[in-house]
Structure 1
Amino acid sequence: MSALEVFKDEIKEYARLKIISEMVLIKEHIKLIEQKYGCNLKEMEQRIAAGKENFDLWDDYMEMKAYQRSLDELKNKIKELDHVKDIKIT
């Protein structure tokens, strides 16, 4: 084969699917922490503010917060894909 023909929309869809697969893994991590404590991120913040020091809760809260930040960044990347005009092959 001397040439490979790929359409711009196919590349964008591949990028979208790659991001979605990353999002699924992050959502699973968040879900595990939510199940462990029976609450979401906002409720964890309230527990931390209201209760005595709980280092395990604090550690999991920081981890969950990082996962949520990563999830938000990936959601933004998906939105940006709709506006991509140029594709660079490297």
Structure 2
Amino acid sequence: MVTVDKKHVSTLLLVEAYSEKHKAEEKVAFFLKKYNKNFDEFEKMMHANEENYAHYDDYMEWKAYKRYLDSIDLKIKDLKNGSIQFT
């Protein structure tokens, strides 16, 4: 039988979350560099200009990565606070 410490599992999950966060931040940085705008500025530009499918695709992807980063940050916070439940 293998015994696993809750703290060890939490640490492994935290490392994984930081890895996911880093990858998502790289994608966000790509869009920041590509458009030389933050997301809010880009979103305003999207609504002000006529439809551009390439920009719209980037907008949707950028928005998804922003939301994903928010969820990862929450996951990291929970893991740091020990808010982990096993089923």
Give the TM-score taking structure 2 as reference length: 0.84
Highest CA radius of gyration, 1 or 2?
A: 1
After superposition, the Cα gap between the structure-2 partners of 1:14 and 1:53, relative to the gap in structure 1 and judged at 3 Å, is same
Structure 2 match to 1:7 = 5
Structure 2 match to 1:53 = 51
| Structure 1: gaps (5+ residues) | none
Structure 2 match to 1:78 = 76
After superposition, the Cα gap between the structure-2 partners of 1:85 and 1:62, relative to the gap in structure 1 and judged at 3 Å, is closer
CA distance in 2, matches of 1:28, 1:86: 30
CA distance in 2, matches of 1:35, 1:74: 22
Of 17, 22, 25 in structure 2, the residue corresponding to residue 24 of structure 1 is 22
1:68 is matched by which residue type in structure 2? K
1:74 is matched by which residue type in structure 2? I
Higher RCO structure, 1 or 2 (CA under 8 Å, sep 6+): 2
1:58 is matched by which residue type in structure 2? Y
Deviations 1:3-46 (A, max 9, x none): 55543222211111100101111111111111111111101111
Give the TM-score taking structure 1 as reference length: 0.81
Aligned-pair Cα RMSD in Å: 1.7
Aligned length in residues: 86
